[in-house]
Structure 1
Amino acid sequence: MKVTVERAQLLKSLGHVHRVVERRNTIPILGNVLLRAENAQLSLKATDLDLEVTETLAAETGAGGGSTTVPAHMFYDIVRKLPDGAQIVLEGDGDRSVLAIRAGRSRFTLQTLPESDFPDLAAGDMTHSFTLTAADLKRLIDRTQFAISTEETRYYLNGIYLHAAGTAKAPTLRAVATDGHRLAQVDLPLPQGATGMPGVIVPRKTVGEVLRLI
């Protein structure tokens, strides 16, 4: 595996995915980010078994591509401290289980774990798909997230409940959050494709990550 990528692009994508990784993990592979190079693209994936984030960016990839996993927070700290405009070369050696990082005169080597150990959260078949503008999604979150419960024993209140509501003449997409003492509710016109969608609870951690992205 050999990949060349621009530092600013890699840092931006790593900044999104590394936040999902808990700093303390009893399962070593969950502390790593999965790197996969193919078709002139580098994809980064991280998960805590509840939330999975994948980012893809343009890169120069060697013949055949390749994949590996490296410690997420250590990798992020290295990239963050490299100079602006640097071209970063990532070279993986599967036989030695290491990833070499080169940028200018800087050299780093990180221990890796095999891709086969990385968990895959299969999403399954989604029955509904619809589009919301970033402004509408931000409005839903901003006006409801304050009411999300932080009491872990009532896990079903630890998120925002999204579901189709309203009447046949005025259908809506409704977001609701409550901690048992207060309740926040916001309605938007039902987007095309959301008719008949099953209600879903978007967990608090996912809400926070989505809000940062938009």
Structure 2
Amino acid sequence: MKVTVERASLLKALSHAQRVVERRSTIPILSNVLLRATGEGLGLKATDLDMEVTETIRAEVAMPGAVTVPAQTIYEIVRKLPEGAQVSLEATGETGQMVLRSGRSRFTLQTLPEDDFPDLAAGEMTVDFVIAPGDLRKLIEKTQFAISTEETRYYLNGIYFHTIESDGETVLRAVATDGHRLARAQLPAPAGAAGMPGVIVPRKAVAEILKLVEDAGDVVRIELSSAKIRATFASVVLTSKLIDGTFPDYQRVIPAGNDKRLVVDRDLFAKAVDRVSTISSERGRAVKLAIGDGRVTLSVNNPDSGSATEEVEVDYDASPLDIGFNARYLLDITAQLDGDTALLKLADPGSPTLIQDREGAPALYVLMPMRV
């Protein structure tokens, strides 16, 4: 293999590849990136056996061929080369090494044979649709924070994507929950998405999709089978296994009868919660809301460090209510609201609260209360 490529495009492709590679893999080949020079350019592939990313970049190919080299090492080398540099990569099968040259720099890297590199065969994709990058980013950003990190409940370790009928139209819906809070976002289903199976996209793939969507071009192509998802962003293709599990019936968690409506300035409320929670203990993080008479009094009592209170004016005309929430969860949700106001629909101190930026908003959040 002998190929010459611009540093900038090689660095960008290697940055995508090395994010997928497991740093401390016990299987040496999984720490490597596969480089394949063909008539189409230089192809790169990296995998951790659950997720795979492939990309082809423009290159001058003097001799086709393929080789695998340590992903982190070659990424660091190329990152430290001067801007605008040309990078030459040359490997011969006999030496088991690849030589990287750029200007007066010369690096020799150990290689492993390409035949050992695993392939994440996607199988037949039964669903195929395109979605605007901004729409996909919105679905993920509105729900990603609520993904569970509890490994025993593995079926909650991702975002549940599915289509469903809502108010007479088919919508593509994203849902995530960790048992303490639930996030749900939706948008009109793209053509071809209707009838797709409900799929749970794992946390790592979700984070990678969110990064790749920045350079996606006009559309992102999504393909699904019962076990895999493949997302194509311009020249980058990400394939990931789906979580093999059943997502719980989240509809039952969303309260329908919460009749106490509280409307508050989102920014003022979030800053007040943030200030009083400074006193709260790391373990508890509880903030109490005493609601009534057109205002909410936020208070925190921590035997170890003291207490804090702050009042915020609200639009609320139901009976007085005292309720407690985890301050960090409350702040996570208010950070996702788009409007200037936050609408909280409450029932009683022991029941979940519904939070939106307005009535009928495409995103809604459910937060479980805490004892205070």
Give TM-score scaled by structure 2 length.
0.56
* 1:136-147 superposed matches below 5 A: 136-147=135-146
User: 1:54 — aligned with what?
Assistant: 54
**How many Å separate the matches in 1 of 2:166 and 2:179?**
26
Unaligned runs of 5+ in 2: 215-372
Q: Of the two structures, which has the highest relative contact order with CA contacts closer than 8 Å and spacing of 6 or more? A: 1
User: 1:113 — aligned with what?
Assistant: 112
- After TM superposition, the runs of 4+ consecutive aligned structure 1 residues lying more than 4 A away are none
User: 1:128 — aligned with what?
Assistant: 127
* 1:40-119 superposed matches below 5 A: 40-63=40-63, 65-119=64-118
- More moved, 107-116 vs 39-48: 39-48
Matched position secondary structure for 1:131 = strand
**How many Å separate the matches in 2 of 1:163 and 1:112?**
42
Give TM-score scaled by structure 1 length.
0.97
User: 1:188 — aligned with what?
Assistant: 187
Q: Does 1:162 align with 2:165?
A: no
User: 2:36 — aligned with what?
Assistant: 36
Alignment: residue pair count? 213
**How many Å separate the matches in 2 of 1:92 and 1:103?**
15
- More moved, 167-176 vs 122-131: 167-176
The 8 Å contact of residues 99 and 110 in structure 1, kept in 2 or not, is answered as yes
Give 1:169 deviation, angstroms.
Answer: 3.6
Matched position secondary structure for 1:62 = strand
Indicate the structure with greater strand content: 2
Deviations 1:16-61 (A, max 9, x none): 1111111111000000000011014111111111111111100011
**How many Å separate the matches in 1 of 2:134 and 2:22?**
29
Give 1:152 deviation, angstroms.
Answer: 1.1
User: 2:226 — aligned with what?
Assistant: none
User: 1:16 — aligned with what?
Assistant: 16
Q: 1:168 to 1:192 in 2, by over 3 A?
A: farther
Q: 1:55 corresponds to which letter in structure 2?
A: E
**How many Å separate the matches in 2 of 1:95 and 1:179?**
52
Q: 2:143 corresponds to which letter in structure 1?
A: T
**How many Å separate the matches in 1 of 2:187 and 2:96?**
50
Give 1:167 deviation, angstroms.
Answer: 4.7
Unaligned runs of 5+ in 1: none
- RMSD (Å) for aligned C-alpha atoms: 1.1
Give 1:165 deviation, angstroms.
Answer: 0.7
Deviations 1:143-186 (A, max 9, x none): 00010000111111100010111159400001010111211111
Matched position secondary structure for 1:18 = helix
Q: 1:141 corresponds to which letter in structure 2?
A: I
User: 1:27 — aligned with what?
Assistant: 27
Deviations 1:113-163 (A, max 9, x none): 001111100001100111111110110011000100001111111000101
The 8 Å contact of residues 40 and 60 in structure 1, kept in 2 or not, is answered as no
**How many Å separate the matches in 2 of 1:168 and 1:184?**
19
**How many Å separate the matches in 2 of 1:128 and 1:22?**
29
